[in-house]
């Protein structure tokens, strides 16, 4: 065996040369990996004793893509397109041996080999679109030549990988080989190619699957307009596939190259790459290092079978953890379980679950009215009404029931976890696990660290988040934690703006166009305007209270801020408009024209400012954690990187300047935080905080 460099080896097995890449953790195509492969293949190509070449990777995966950490830095080493050209031009058959995930540049490299074999569990994909990019080393030109235009459009513009079996059905993989014998099977495959005098198949020479009806592209754009809204990269991906059809191979390659270079320097890709690393960073907690012991969670208890409790329970049941679910009344328990069943049945109807799976999952529930049934649970999540007294009472009881070492979690979205923990004799076992509604769907889990929460409890909760497919973000105790605390800033301004001169649909339109899934008033209508409202205590002093008093309580009553037709399509409402105008007059407010720019700044800059306060107070570990909260819990557009990243994009001196103007006009709600002042004065951004 010859070491080509630190990360690439060349060995021979009989007359087959085996190039092995060993660059943990994911064999990303760093400059060393690219240069090593190019050299190894050239060497093998020139060696008369060698008849074929196998490219193989050590560790958990085939090459999982370009090395994202190199993006935006001066290029080093042999470019991937050149490596690919070397592979394709090799005078001996080159076989890629794929396990794990052949992603991005990894798949592009494999597509430049003459043959590909893969183990059944392998996945192949081009996820660049998720980083705001197009594949940049021939992926958009070669993939359609193997899998056809329609499938290639999906794989490239959605960025979702394909399983080995499907890849084999298209000829993207030439053979599916043994899970435990990839290298040996790949060598045998190569030997057989030689024995059969098989041709050197070059994907670039294929054109038989490119005969797409041009209408395919228009139809694809139309069908996915909602999914792609605001993003630049999906459209660029479609254009590259169009180029594969309309241009000769090398011109298509150049078009693809120009496209990726353009996107690479754009704000969207910068934001999306930032988010990729930010999400992984969120799992890292300075004083709870990797390797901190965790507690085994084999059985979970949930208190409350309402919308939240039921949704939370589904997360555990989905990964095979049995759940004891407790309610106070049989009727509520039955209702909760029937909602869960309906949810699963709907998933089954869409073909994503079998009816047998539905039964298996339902079979993992133990419904009960008896709190003491939680005695054998390793984790109990309380999801009762958001009221401190009720929560305190529940935790007092729970303390007497739960076994020693059990983790006691509250799903509160605002309340003081330390006060709740103080109701127990074991505050070190108490933690907040704030799920977002619908809890079985939303990816965010705010893990709330109390003053006394033990480190192994934190490590367990963060690990559990990953197990159930969530992004866990560790936050500190404060009113509303990170997400809702910042949301309150936006809501306050939205409410003020509609009295000062805007209408709810103006505010909603501006935030929707910014990229959020919906604005605050459409959101209120969806959630129900009467959450936390009661006729007895209503003062009729805000548009929301007046709407509730008129029984306009949102979508569920056919009217709220908006009027809804029978298909729940929203229309601006003259009733709401009159309520707002009358109320403004009553309050003596001189309504004025408010620009879209002001609406955006008024809603978003105070959020950034609040995020800065959260950092000052140490309630979030890092600015990027705040961004991950907003992206995964509130639908903040990924291509804007989260509110803190957005603040940096605008420039903190500019944010500060506008905040000060607003402070002058509208008062203390806009008082800049000390951190914002400091960073702006130093010409720095949140990204510069260490
Ligand atoms: N470049 C540089 N680093 C990468 C990387 C890449 N393409 N892909 C993963 N990593 C790093 C991660 O940042 C992480 O680093 P950390 O341990 O310091 O946090 C580590 O490799 C492991 O990645 P992780 O995502 O935690 O592991 P996983 O097993 O859950 O998933 C992958 C593995 C490959 C599926 C996933 O990392 C992935 O999707 N990577 C990106 C692939 C991609 O987009 N390729 C195209 C690039 S153009």
CA-nearest of 425, 342, 363, 415 to 384 is 415
Closest CA to ligand 1's atom 32:
64
Residue 291 CB neighbour total at 10 angstroms: 7
CATH H superfamily, domain 2-264? 2-enoyl-CoA Hydratase; Chain A, domain 1 (3.90.226.10)
If we measure between CA atoms, which residue out of 649, 315, 688, 380 comes closest to residue 514? 649
CATH of 300-482, one of 2.30.30.110, 3.40.50.1700, 1.20.140.10, 3.40.50.720: 3.40.50.720
In the prediction, which pLDDT does 214 show?
83
How far apart are the CA of 26 and the centre of ligand 1, in A? 6
Q: Which long-range contacts (CB under 8 A, 24 or more apart) does 284-290 make?
A: 285/458, 285/459, 285/462, 285/474, 285/621, 286/621, 287/455, 288/455, 288/458, 288/459, 288/462
66 within ligand 1 shell (Cβ under 6 A):
yes
18 within 8 A of 50, measured Cβ to Cβ: no
How high is the pLDDT of residue 271? 98
Q: What is residue 609's predicted lDDT score, i.e. its pLDDT?
A: 98
| Percent of the chain scoring above 90 in pLDDT | 97
Decide: residue 353, CB within 10 A, 0-12 exposed, 13-18 middle, 19+ buried: middle
Closest residue CA from atom 34 of ligand 1: 64
CA of 204 to the centre of ligand 1 (A): 28
Q: How far is CA 282 from the centre of its chain?
A: 12
Closest residue by CA, ligand 1 atom 36: 64
Reading phi first (left if > 0) and then psi (alpha if -120 to 50, else beta), residue 478 is in beta
Listed in sequence order, the residues at least 6 apart from 385 whose beta carbon sits closer than 8 Å to its beta carbon are: 304
d(Cα 279, Cα 642) in Å, to the nearest integer? 11
Distance CA(439)–CA(303), nearest Å, equals: 14
**pLDDT for position 443:** 97
Q: Which of 25, 57, 236 most suits a substitution to test ligand 1, by most atoms within 8 Å of the C-beta?
A: 25
* Residue to mutate, 26, 99, 143, 161, ligand 1, most ligand atoms under 8 Å from C-beta: 26
What phi-psi label fits residue 551: left (phi over 0), alpha (psi between -120 and 50 degrees) or beta?
left
CA distance linking residue 414 with residue 653, whole number of Å: 31
Dihedrals phi, psi of 137, to nearest 5 degrees: -135, 50
Give CA torsion, residues 655, 274, 632, 616, to 10 deg: -50
Q: Decide if 305 contacts 334 (C-beta within 8 A).
A: no
The domain ranges of the chain are 2-264, 300-482, 502-586
Interval between CA 419 and ligand 1 midpoint (Å): 39
One DSSP character per residue, 3-62 reads: ESSSSEEEEEETTEEEEEE--TTT--B-HHHHHHHHHHHHHHHH-TT--EEEEEE-TT-S
Distance in Å, CA 278 to ligand 1 centroid: 12
CA distance 65 to 51: 28
CA of 128 to the centre of ligand 1 (A): 12
pLDDT for the residue 216: 96
Which residues face 449 on adjacent strands? 476
Does residue 450 have its Cβ closer than 6 Å to ligand 1?
no
DSSP β-bridge partners for residue 125: 103
> For residue 437, with 0-12 CB atoms within 10 Å meaning exposed, 13-18 middle and 19 or more buried, which class applies?
middle
Tell the residue nearest (CA) to atom 16 of ligand 1: 280
What is the Cα 342 distance to its own chain's centre?
26
Q: What gap in Å lies between CA 147 and CA 100, rounded to an integer?
A: 20
Q: Is the pTM of this model over 0.85?
A: yes
What beta strand segments (E) does 127-266 contain? Answer: 162-163, 175-176
Buried b (16+ CB within 10 A) or exposed e, 102-140: bbbbbbbbbbbbbbbbbbeebbbbbbbbbbbbbbbbbbb
104 lines ligand 1 (CB under 6 A): yes
Task: List pLDDT tens digits, range 173-215.
Answer: 999 999 999 999 999 999 999 999 999 999 999 999 998 788 9
Query: Among residues 112, 87, 134, 107, which one has the least CA distance to residue 204?
Result: 112
**Of the candidates 356, 358, 377, 357, which has an alpha carbon nearest to the alpha carbon of residue 366?**
377
Centre of ligand 1 from the C-alpha of residue 466, in Å: 15
Is there a contact between 220 and 238 (Cβ–Cβ < 8 Å)?
yes
Cβ 131 under 6 angstroms from ligand 1: yes
Cβ-based neighbours of 680, under 8 Å, separated by 6 or more: 652, 653, 655, 656
Count helices and strands (H / E) in the chain.
28, 20
What length is written for the chain?
Answer: 690
Q: Which residues pair with 98 in a beta bridge?
A: 118
- Strand pairing category for 16-21 and 8-13: antiparallel
Q: Tell which residue, 153, 326, 300, 134, has the closest CA to residue 231.
A: 134
Partners of 447 in the beta sheet? 433, 474
Ligand 1 atom nearest residue 104's Cα: 46
CA-based R_g, the chain, Å: 28
- For residue 213, the model assigns a pLDDT of 83
**Surface-to-core class of residue 143, CB atoms within 10 Å of its CB (0-12 exposed, 13-18 middle, 19+ buried):** buried
Contact 203, 145 (CB under 8 A): yes
The architecture (CATH level 2) of 502-586 comes to Orthogonal Bundle (1.10)
Pocket-testing residue among 61, 63, 68, ligand 1, by greatest number of atoms within 8 A of Cβ: 68
**438 prior amide bond cis, ω within 30:** yes
Cβ of 603 less than 6 Å from ligand 1? no
Identify the pLDDT of residue 72: 79
Taking 70 as the pLDDT cut, the residues of the chain under it are none
Give residue 343's pLDDT: 96
């Amino acid at each position: 065996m010859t070491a080509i460099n630190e990360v690439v080896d060349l060995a021979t097995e009989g007359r087959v040369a085996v190039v092995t890449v060993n660059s943990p953790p994911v064999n990303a195509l760093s400059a060393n990996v690219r240069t090593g492969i190019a050299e190894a293949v050239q060497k093998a190509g020139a060696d008369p004793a060698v008849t074929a070449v196998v490219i193989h990777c050590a560790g958990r995966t085939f090459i999982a893509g370009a090395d994202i950490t190199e993006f935006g830095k001066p290029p080093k080493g042999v470019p991937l397109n050149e490596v690919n050209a070397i592979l394709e031009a090799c005078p001996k058959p080159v076989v890629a041996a794929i396990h794990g995930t052949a992603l991005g540049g990894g798949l592009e490299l494999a597509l430049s080999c003459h043959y590909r074999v893969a183990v059944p569990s392998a996945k192949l994909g081009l996820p660049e679109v998720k980083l705001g990019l197009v594949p940049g080393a021939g992926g958009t030109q070669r993939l359609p030549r193997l899998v056809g235009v329609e499938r290639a459009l999906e794989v490239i513009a959605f960025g979702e990988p394909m399983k080995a079996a499907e890849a084999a059905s298209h000829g993207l993989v030439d053979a599916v080989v043994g899970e435990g014998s990839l290298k040996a099977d790949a060598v045998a495959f190569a030997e057989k190619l030689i024995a059969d005098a098989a041709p050197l198949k070059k994907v670039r020479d294929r054109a038989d699957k490119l005969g797409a009806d041009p209408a395919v592209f228009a139809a694809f754009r139309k069908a996915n307009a909602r999914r792609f809204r605001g993003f630049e990269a999906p459209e660029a991906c479609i254009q590259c596939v169009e180029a594969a059809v309309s241009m000769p191979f090398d011109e298509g390659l150049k078009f693809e190259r120009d496209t990726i270079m353009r996107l690479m320097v754009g704000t969207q890709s910068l934001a999306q790459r930032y988010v990729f690393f930010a999400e992984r960073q969120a799992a890292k907690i300075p004083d709870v290092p990797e390797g901190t012991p965790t507690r085994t969670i084999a059985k979970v208890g949930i208190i409350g079978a309402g919308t939240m409790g039921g949704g939370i329970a589904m997360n555990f049941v989905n990964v095979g953890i049995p759940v004891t679910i407790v309610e106070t009344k049989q009727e509520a328990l039955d209702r909760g379980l029937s909602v869960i069943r309906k949810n699963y049945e709907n998933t089954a109807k869409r073909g994503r679950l079998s009816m047998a799976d539905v039964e298996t999952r339902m079979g993992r529930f133990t419904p009960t009215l008896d709190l003491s049934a939680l005695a054998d649970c390793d984790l109990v999540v309380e999801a009762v009404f958001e009221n401190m007294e009720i929560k305190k009472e529940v935790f007092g009881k729970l303390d007497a029931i739960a076994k020693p070492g059990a983790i006691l979690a509250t799903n509160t979205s605002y309340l003081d976890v330390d006060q709740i923990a103080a109701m127990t004799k074991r505050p070190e076992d108490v933690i907040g696990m704030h799920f977002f509604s619908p809890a079985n769907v939303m990816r965010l889990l705010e893990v709330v660290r109390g003053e006394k929460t033990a480190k192994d409890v934190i490590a367990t909760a963060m690990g559990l988040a990953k197990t159930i497919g969530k992004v866990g973000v560790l936050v500190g105790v404060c009113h509303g934690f990170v997400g809702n605390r910042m949301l309150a800033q936006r809501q306050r301004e939205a409410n003020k703006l509609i009295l000062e001169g805007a209408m709810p649909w103006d505010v909603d339109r501006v935030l929707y166009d910014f990229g959020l899934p919906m604005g605050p008033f459409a959101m209120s209508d969806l959630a129900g305007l009467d959450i936390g409202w009661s006729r007895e205590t209503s003062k009729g002093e805000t548009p929301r209270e007046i709407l509730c008093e008129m029984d306009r309580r949102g979508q569920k009553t056919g009217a709220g801020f908006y009027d809804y037709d029978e298909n729940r399509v929203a229309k601006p409402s003259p009733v709401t408009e009159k309520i707002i105008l009358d109320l403004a007059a009553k309050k003596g407010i001189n309504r004025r024209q408010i620009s879209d720019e002001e609406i955006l700044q008024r809603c978003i800059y105070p959020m950034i400012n609040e995020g800065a306060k959260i950092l000052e107070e140490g309630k979030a570990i890092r600015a990027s954690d705040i961004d991950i909260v907003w992206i995964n819990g509130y639908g903040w557009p990924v291509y804007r990187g989260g509110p803190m990243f957005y603040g940096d994009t605008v420039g903190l001196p500019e944010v500060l300047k506008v905040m000060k103007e607003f402070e002058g006009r509208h008062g203390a709600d806009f008082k800049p935080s000390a951190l914002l002042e400091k960073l702006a004065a130093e010409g720095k951004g949140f990204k510069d905080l260490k």
